[in-house]
Amino acid sequence: MGRLFWKFFLIFWLAQVVTSVGVGVAIWLERPAHGSEMDVFDDGPPPPPPGFTGMDRPPLPPHHLPLPLLPILAGSIVSLLFAALLAWYFARPIRNLRAAFESVAGGKLETRIGASMGRRNDELADLGKDFDYMAGRLQNLLDAQRRLLHDVSHELRSPLARLQAAADLMRQQPERGAEFVERIERDTSRMDTLIGELLTLARLDAGMTGKLDEEVDLREVVADVAEDARFETNEKRCMIEVDTSGPVTARGNHELLYRAIENVVRNAVRHSPDGGTVNISVQPVDGRLRVTVADGGPGVFGGDLAAIFDPFFRGASGDSLSGYGLGLAITRRIVEAHGGSASASNQAKGGLVVTMFLPLSVRAGQATPIVQERAEI
């Protein structure tokens, strides 16, 4: 038994023993005294019966009863049993929690304690549920870190191998140096992009978001994103339709919000068919700004809708496309840093819809007209 058990045991037992002794002594003191039969007669003792001798007189009853030791002893034994049961009841789940903490500290993150709590419905049972939630979160975070390390290693291995191959070939065939230099520059640029996105993701995870109190007009942000997309995907001749209505001023960081929307739009254009349409909508809904980006691509398998916001995730339809699978992960981190949320769903007519909710900041006396824009890219 642990120290806590004996503390509970001694406290409960002493409390009950003191109670039993106190009750017994109080009863003993409150019992009426037994006086002599002589007190009944005011004129003296009654005359002795005929033939009575002094040797035959019965002894007078005692003035007080003896201390009730037997009830006190019985109460002490019963209190001993109940104190042991109560101490065991309270100390057992705490010992289980301690063992579970030691197990998690030893690296066994799959440890759970909820089943050992039985049918308890008290604060200790709630503590066990909180422990299970904590262990689950730690396990998920550690698994995510391991997957991230594995994916980063995989993504860096290929361009590093190509760089090494290009360097070796350039030594062997110096006349093709310009060709190999171009390949080296291309792979170096890809590695620089990957490292930049990883650093951005790490800063967001660490809460290094900068100031989030700017007044950001999302109409300007969306217009700039659409304009930039025109130069990157002009060969696909996609249509971008922008629809903004009502007050669309958000409170946050202009650069981060631009990055969040740009990542989603780039992803939508990348998965849209040639000549397809990407719809961007910014609407105030229930005191928040709802930003939706819809494309006409193949969509995402239903079981992968939540996973597309995980780093390095690629759906079955996007394995052959460029990118590292970090764009939507960065978008979700930015939106959550602003106190919003991001989700994805498939359209009934086909294609993916990414929805972002952001805090609305309406400045007094400012009215925002409805703006509809269509840009061909």
Both structure tokens of 119:
């049918």
d(CA 72, CA 13): 13
Active site residue 34: no
**Candidate list 154, 254, 271, 338, residue with the active-site label:** 154
DSSP 175-195: GGHHHHHHHHHHHHHHHHHHH
- Within a 13 Å sphere around the CA of 56, how many CA atoms are in the beta-carbon half? 6
Token digits of residue 135: 């262990």
d(CA 144, CA 155): 16
**Beta partners for residue 233, in sequence order:** none
> Are 216 and 251 in contact, with CB atoms under 8 Å apart?
yes
Helices within the chain (DSSP H only): 3-30, 69-105, 123-172, 177-205, 218-232, 254-271, 327-337
To the nearest 10°, report the CA torsion of 333, 338, 339, 342: -50
CB-based burial label for 175 (10 Å; 0-12, 13-18, 19+) = exposed
**Cα separation, 35 vs 246, whole angstroms:** 99
Question: Whole-angstrom distance between the N-terminal and C-terminal Cα of the chain?
Answer: 75
Residue 292 near residue 280 (C-beta atoms within 8 A)? yes
Classified as helix, coil or strand, 343 is strand
Spatial distance between the Cα atoms of 248 and 147, rounded to a whole number of angstroms: 38
CA angle 9, 12, 18 (to 5 degrees): 125
Residues with catalytic roles:
154
